[in-house]
Amino acid sequence: MRGPHNILRLIRTGATLERTGAMGLIMDAFEAPPLVRGTLRFLAWPFQWLGYKGDPTTPPAPRALTALGPAYIKFGQILSTRPDLVGDELAQQLRVLQDKLPPFSVEIAKRSIAQELGQPVEALFDDFSPPVAAASIAQVHKARLREDGTAVAIKVLRPGIERAFRRDIDAFYFAARTIEILAPGARRLRPTEVIAHFEGVVMGELDLRLEASSASEFAANTGNDAGFQLPAVQWNLSSRRIMTMAWADGLPLGDNAALDEAGHDRAVLGERVLQLFLNHALRDGYFHADMHQGNLKVAANGDIIAYDFGIMGHIDEYTRRVYAEILYGFIRRDYRRVAEVHFEAGYVPADRDVDAFARALRAVGEPIFGMDASKISMGSLLSYLFEVTERFGMETRTELILLQRTMVVVEGVARSLYPQINIWQVAKPVVEDYVKSTIGPRAVLRDLGRTAAVLSRYGPRLPKLVEDALIRQSMPLAMPAPSRWPRNGLWVLLGASVGAAAMFAFMIYI
């Protein structure tokens, strides 16, 4: 249903922002130019009556985003981690969107649990509490297992949440396609693909069985990470709309006063959050992609506890190496190498001038490194880098959207804990270690070994493949070779065979 009826939804978005008073606050936070500010206000003002009223007891921004629905709430959650962008006051107002939204009734939650698990709540749990946290997609109740008294957190999806998200995503698709038609220059940003990526992430978040699986995989990857904890999943008490995990005892990471009172070093916590994220993204290629304060706690011993695994990011090994080299190049201020990496990865068209691109990157990096620690921002770097790559024809990389967005969120969390944190200094040892382990001589040998192992699995099939290729090569020239084999297929096979044998011998030798 991605038709023009979505125009009403988009108009209502602007009207709601204007009616609740959030339009001016958001434009002030982003320092919108007078022309943009005036145009948006002019277009939205006549349609105020179409806007949602929202809860008048809440501040304007969370009031508007909550009224508009879950997709807009997600946007507000991201902004709540960036006081450096929107200001401390607005960030604090938006923080209620992380886990303090209006809950649905306990009776509805109990009915949902009984329907999903096939037994009444009283048969499974004791001390079933009112909602202890309510976010855009689900709410959480605390209880104890009837069989052994273990404290658990029970996550229950909001009723009708799937339909609500579908409505928002349909409107976003309509807006993206309209932009592509009316602004051809924006097609390089691939807005429709960006929305498709967002849709995939959200749809995965609406199946709690997938979240439980993500939590299990994440725990397997991070079991040896110092200063990091994950609550265990109770698989027998989880389903598509219900997930049960061990209860995580700790202080909210966003409550600086409570952290100070408990004696935690917020500077250390800020560094740990950033380094944990980088380790998970670069080392494992699998990371928590929703690391705002509402999903993080601090244990009594100072460990970071993460939960809510509905949005997880995955990047392949090649992309990790590219991203690490880009970060490492900026850290070393080696802009020529950063430019080369963009070209080698195909991020920038090959017909562009690598030297000109390197000079443009220097114009991005040097002003940032000239700032004091409290102003060095990954968000600023990504913003400036976006402007440069736009001039050089770089298309949006959908595989990096979640990584870049999470990097910005994590930086915001770290800076909220310790405003003077030096992002580059904290990131440098993690990125350096990854680069040394993946690009040095040992990494080359390891890659050769993996290649040999893959080729060796085809060993039993190689004689038959070579025979088939010989038969095809002997066919009359007028008879075209099958489309799946090039005319030089024999030489490809022979080369692969020789290569596999050579690498196998090399591995035995070393």
SS3 state of residue 154? strand
Coil, helix or strand at residue 286: strand
- What is the rounded distance in angstroms from the CA atom of residue 322 to the CA atom of residue 317? 9
Residue 373: both structure tokens together: 């620690």
**Gyration radius (Cα) of the chain, Å:** 26
Q: Check if 28 is active-site.
A: no
Residue 349 CA to residue 395 CA, distance in Å, equals 9
The position carrying tokens 């990471």 is: 253
Q: Please name the residues in contact with 113: beta carbons below 8 A apart, sequence gap of 6 or more.
A: 121, 124, 154, 156, 242
| Euclidean distance between CA atoms 342 and 330, whole angstroms | 13
Of 229, 230, 199, which is closest to residue 212 (Cα–Cα)? 230
- Can you tell me which residue has the tokens 């001038």? 353
Residue (of 475, 165, 496, 502) closest to 310 by Cα position? 165
Query: How many residues belong to the chain?
Result: 510
Measure the CA angle with vertex 249, ends 248 and 255; round to 5°: 110
From the centroid of its chain, how far is CA 373? 25
Residue of 290, 334, 351, 468 marked active site: 290
What are the residue numbers of the active site? Answer: 290
